[in-house]
Structure 1
Amino acid sequence: MAMSPHLARLRALIGHEQILLPSVSVIVTDDRGRLLLVRHSGDHDGWAVPGGAVDLGESPARAAAREILEETGIRIGEPRLLDVLGGADYEVTYPNGDRVAYVTAVYRADVADGTPAPDREEISELGWFAPQQLPDLNRFTAALLRATGHLAG
């Protein structure tokens, strides 16, 4: 789902103005230590860690499990909170002009069940990458991986 009904109602009121939005980002690793990264449909800014907004009444940990299932079709084990991040590196302007300042709860999780596949709605492509051989990352993801020690520099 691209935008929750709650967020759609807010956008109808405030238009493209910047909004502070709670979100989750999930660093999923496999048994070889590789990271699962995704490319968002229509997004040419680079690869990203999967995740998304926390819905009304939903815990961040539940949002992490839901977002991974929706975007990749896999179920994750118990997500472990690594950090909560925000600031300029986590501000995004979408192609339609919507501006968001994310505060993201970053989790680490393992695959519990399933084989990852892009949902073809939000995610056009996904892949496993060794930490020393990461592809071009979007600004948000590069900052997140640096902050959590998964990317040098």
Structure 2
Amino acid sequence: MSSHLAGLRARIGHELILLPSVSVIVTDDDARLMLVRHAGSEDGWAIPGGAVEIGESPADAAVREIREETGGQIDQLRLLDVLGGADFEVTYPNGDQVAYVTAVYQARLAGGTPAPDQEEISELGWFAPSALPDLNRFTRATLNRIRAVRIQPSTPR
């Protein structure tokens, strides 16, 4: 949790807050999607991403989140959609309520060998869109909402 969000929580407790975030659909040359499993969660596989920090653009947050969570470097960011609503609201085990508004990007892996950071992310895998594993509810909602947007194979470097 960022120091800004921790400060808000200290003032408002568990009340519902609107939080900007990013989800990054990283694809390889075969149009496979990089999915991750969050450490300590049994909720299924997820699209990597996270909160946008104060003073940061959503595109910069997408690049940072992939680097922090997987060690990978991305480029060719393409905004697919901006999503929110009931499918993106959550109450965490500690009682904190969040309504996420997420900018969904597609990006190409541009460097590094992605691997889970073992802090936020415990597993990482590449999956064909026709053979996706068990997904968490946010990822299911995201993919269902953007299915009309064609996820394209990465452009070779």
For this structure pair, what is the TM-score category when the shorter chain's length is used for normalisation?
over 0.9
Q: Sort the Cα spacing of 1:21 and 1:47 in 2 relative to 1 into closer, same or farther, 3 A.
A: same
Contact 1:69 1:75 in 2 (8 A): yes
When the two structures are superposed, what TM-score results if normalisation uses the length of structure 2? Answer: 0.92
Moved over 2 A (4+): none
Q: Counterpart of 2:120?
A: 122
Q: Deviations over 1:59-111 (max 9, x none)?
A: 00000000000001000013110000000001122222211100000000010
Number of equivalences: 149
3-state SS of 1:23 partner: strand
Residue equivalent to 1:48: 46
Within 5 Å, which residues of 2 pair with 1:1-153? 3-149=1-147
Output the TM-score relative to the length of structure 1.
0.94
Answer yes or no: is the 8 Å Cα contact 1:26–1:109 preserved in 2.
yes
Residue 124 of structure 1: SS of its match in structure 2? strand
Distance in 1 separating the partners of 2:62 and 2:20: 12
Shift of 1:150: 7.5
C-alpha distance in 2 between matches for 1:122 and 1:28:
17
* Aligned partner letter, 2:128: A
Q: Distance in 2 between matches of 1:135 and 1:150?
A: 20
1:131–1:150 Cα contact (<8 Å) kept: no
Inter-partner Cα distance in structure 1 for 2:142 and 2:124: 18
The residue identity in structure 1 corresponding to 2:122 is: S
Counterpart residue type for residue 44 of structure 2: G
Structure 2 portions without partners, runs of 5+:
150-157
